[in-house]
């Protein structure tokens, strides 16, 4: 069994590290020449995606070059992704040669915020009210202020987002040359949680427990699972929304759903058609981690148990300096991504296991 992953980042690295023990082999498609490949070096075949060529005024891939790429990758049984912002044309060009998991439809829906909102709305899954490509001045008449503007395709970790605090901001935004965006109502949430789930080829679904997430300037800094103060209703609702999404797009693999908690209700902020940073804790705190379950789903194995072993926290290592490795305690595990150190770059994470949420929080605070 060989799986090719589009992307050479840390998620590809951890997918390979989780699949290799089961005898699965990996190949990586280096699709972004601005990204380096250090994370996956030594874990399998790495090949550049071919350049697109102009044909009938449209940039497309040459079928012969795609076949050459497929052979150079070692004729993988399937192709998967480590990020939503992959070139759909590349995915579609590979589709005649092998299975694509998750489906092209799932990747397409999740890589564009407007399409993602439309999918949620079609399935009656609550999400904040929004307008697509509408003047900010017009939109805030309905949405009120503050409101959030988000680029449909370029934004992640809070990038390419603007907070419209008042009418003056809206007027200023409307003068900018920005296309393909949504404006959505600001949500006064109690907290943010995520649901990570996996669906197999046979339609079987398993859910991990809800996870508490802390973001700073839009970027995830820490997670703790299981999320505290979640009622049976929160849990059942999150699982029901997830199942409806997974079944709708005949999903195979792991999907992440980021949710705002508002009292007894959930509003869905974002979907990711892939393993997710808020699921990294499963490497230490669950019988089967999200990475292994993604591989098991793609390989057609029985999905592994998502049962939680213990309270677990995850602290992202972001930034300027390598961590103080000597501070890693006996019940903590470091995952270092083999990247060069740069400001605001996710370089690694540490998973902490413990008896209580308090002890985990204390360990994470001691470290950071
Ligand atoms: P996103 O890129 O959509 O995941 O947003 C990054 C972070 O910005 C979220 O995790 C929230 O903390 C915050 N955020 C995004 N959308 C909203 C919203 N509509 N209202 C309030 N906060 C938001």
Give CA angle at 112 (107, 115), nearest 5°. Answer: 90
Q: How much is the mean pLDDT over the chain?
A: 95
> Cβ atoms within 10 A of the Cβ of 246, count?
21
Q: What's the 257 CA to ligand 1 centre distance in angstroms?
A: 13
Report, as an integer, the average pLDDT of 110-132.
96
So what's the pLDDT on residue 45? 98
pLDDT beyond 80 at 19: yes
Cβ(10)–Cβ(339) under 8 Å? yes
Q: What is the mean pLDDT of residues 9-30?
A: 98
Closest CA to ligand 1's atom 2: 158
What band does 157 get if pLDDT is binned at 50, 70 and 90?
A: low
Q: Give the binding-site residues of ligand 1, using a 6 Å CB cut-off.
A: 128, 148, 150, 155, 158, 184, 186-187, 192, 215, 218, 258, 269-270
pLDDT attached to residue 155: 63
pLDDT exceeds cutoff 90 at 106: yes
Domains and CATH numbers, the chain: 2-100 (3.40.50.20), 129-185 (3.30.1490.20), 191-367 (3.30.470.20)
The CA 62 to ligand 1 mean position distance, Å, reads 39
How far is it, in rounded angstroms, from Cα 18 to Cα 60? 34
Whole-prediction pTM:
0.95
Other CB atoms within 10 A of residue 358 CB: 10
Q: Residue 296 burial (CB < 10 Å; 0-12/13-18/19+)?
A: buried
Mean pLDDT, range 235-246, rounded to an integer: 98
pLDDT, one tens digit per residue, over 312-354 is 999 999 987 777 778 888 899 999 999 999 998 999 999 999 9
């Amino acid at each position: 069994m060989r799986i090719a992953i589009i992307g050479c980042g840390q998620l590809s690295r951890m997918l390979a590290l989780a699949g290799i023990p089961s005898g699965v082999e990996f190949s990586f498609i280096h699709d972004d020449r601005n990204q380096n490949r250090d994370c996956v070096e030594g874990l399998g075949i790495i090949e550049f995606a071919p350049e697109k060529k102009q044909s009938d005024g449209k940039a497309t891939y040459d079928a012969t070059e795609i076949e050459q790429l497929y052979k150079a990758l070692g004729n993988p049984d399937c192709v998967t992704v480590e990020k939503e912002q992959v070139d759909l044309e590349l995915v579609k060009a590979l589709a005649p040669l092998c299975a694509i998991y998750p489906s092209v439809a799932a990747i397409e829906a999740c890589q564009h915020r407007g399409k993602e909102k439309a999918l949620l709305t079609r399935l009656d899954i609550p999400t904040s009210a929004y307008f697509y490509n509408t003047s900010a001045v017009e939109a805030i008449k309905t949405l009120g202020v503050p409101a959030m503007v988000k680029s449909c395709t370029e934004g992640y970790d809070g990038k390419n987002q603007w907070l419209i605090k008042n009418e003056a901001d809206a007027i200023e935004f409307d003068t900018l040359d920005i296309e393909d965006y949504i404006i959505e109502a600001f949500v006064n949430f109690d907290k943010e949680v995520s649901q990570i789930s996996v669906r197999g080829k046979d339609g079987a679904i398993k859910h991990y427990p809800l996870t508490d997430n802390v973001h700073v300037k839009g970027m995830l800094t820490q997670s703790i699972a299981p999320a505290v103060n979640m009622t049976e209703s929160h849990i059942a609702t999150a699982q029901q929304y997830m199942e409806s999404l997974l079944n709708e797009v005949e999903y195979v693999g792991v999907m992440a759903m980021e949710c705002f908690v508002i009292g007894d209700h959930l509003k869905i902020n974002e979907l990711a058609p892939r393993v997710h940073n808020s699921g990294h804790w499963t490497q230490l705190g669950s019988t089967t981690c999200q990475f292994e379950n993604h591989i098991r789903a793609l390989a057609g194995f029985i999905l592994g148990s998502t049962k939680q072993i213990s309270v677990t926290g995850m602290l992202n290592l972001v930034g300027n300096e390598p961590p103080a490795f000597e501070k890693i305690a006996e019940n903590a595990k470091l995952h270092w991504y083999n990247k060069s150190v740069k400001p605001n770059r996710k370089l690694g994470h540490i998973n902490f296991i413990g008896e209580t949420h308090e002890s985990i929080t204390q360990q994470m605070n001691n470290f950071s």
